[in-house]
Amino acid sequence: MKRALVSLILLNASMLANAASSPPAFIAAAVADSARPLADTQVDNARKPAELLAFAGIKPGDKVADFIPGGGYFTRLFARVVGPKGHVFAVIPQSLAASGAKRVDPIKEITASADYRNVSLLIQPYDDLGADMPLDMVWTSQNYHDVYGEVGPFAVAGVSGTEEAARFDAAAFKALKPGGVFIVIDHAAKAGSGGADAKTLHRIEAETVIAQAKAVGFVLEGRSEVLADAQDDHSKLIFAPEIKGHTDKFVLKFRKPKMYTFLQNKHTDQRNP
């Protein structure tokens, strides 16, 4: 009897663990969407979209900014998750857009498709996400180091990469509604290196991103190890053939405090009695 009871308890625990690890149905449906390009679905095993979107907490009806969307891998997924009552803003910095059509055309193709009527392309400076409504989430994947390290077309004349990254953080904070989420995914650098390898190895230390985000008001809510890779010793360029697509990556989830508006108004009142 005791053995049967123990077996039942273990079975129930296993079922609960599996349920907890399974993404919501709307995320699973977005990943399984047949309209997704083969080039996207072929890298799902490495990029772990279902796990990342579940960690971020994105849901139907959300308004999302996909900052530096690349070919639109996450843009398409976001569009399917948020649905017709939500919206996705694919935001490309002005300096990057000016570097060539290949930076913009993939997103123009998405916005021109009847499948993605809830996606808009915005070309903005780093300090303005350009969304015309309060956002539930700002997301950037594998691009923070490019801004911080002034990598090629990500650089803006007369402004350091450190400053541009800070301006982007501030713009994200401003664009989010109180309680909104800021997700940063990037290639991990050696502990203690800060942003020194951002331009050369295309890596940045998570602590550098955390410090910049906290400086503008964000609270670090959590970290995910879903893209961690212990085989990466952080010494190689991320494009090196033996490691490309399999680098050790950090996933950071920040939140704009829900009490921010109240505290800001209180502070303003104290300064202007």
Q: How confident is the model at residue 75 (pLDDT cuts 50, 70, 90)?
A: very high
- The CATH number that applies at residue 83 is 3.40.50.150
Residue 18 lies in a domain: no
pLDDT for residue 170 is more than 70 = yes
H/E element, 224: strand 219-224
pLDDT for residue 3 is more than 60 = no
Residue 196 lies in a domain: yes
Q: How confident is the model at residue 150 (pLDDT cuts 50, 70, 90)?
A: very high
Residue 3 lies in a domain: no
pLDDT above 70: percentage of residues in the chain: 87
* Mean pLDDT in residue range 180-195: 97
Among residues 64, 105, 46, the alpha carbon closest in space to that of 247 is found at 46
pLDDT for residue 258 is more than 80 = yes
Helix axis angle, 49-56 to 73-82, nearest 10° = 50
Residue 16 lies in a domain: no
Residue 49 lies in a domain: yes
Residue 5 lies in a domain: no
Residue 247 lies in a domain: yes
Mean residue pLDDT of the chain comes to 90
Tell me which of 98-102, 191-195, 202-206 is least confident: 98-102
Contact 228, 249 (CB under 8 A): yes
Domain count for the chain, please give it: 1
In 203-239, which positions are buried (b, 16+ CB within 10 angstroms) versus exposed (e)? bbbbebbbebbeebbbeeeeebeebeeeebebeeebe
Q: Which domain holds residue 223?
A: 24-271
Residue 263 lies in a domain: yes
* Mean pLDDT in residue range 251-255: 98
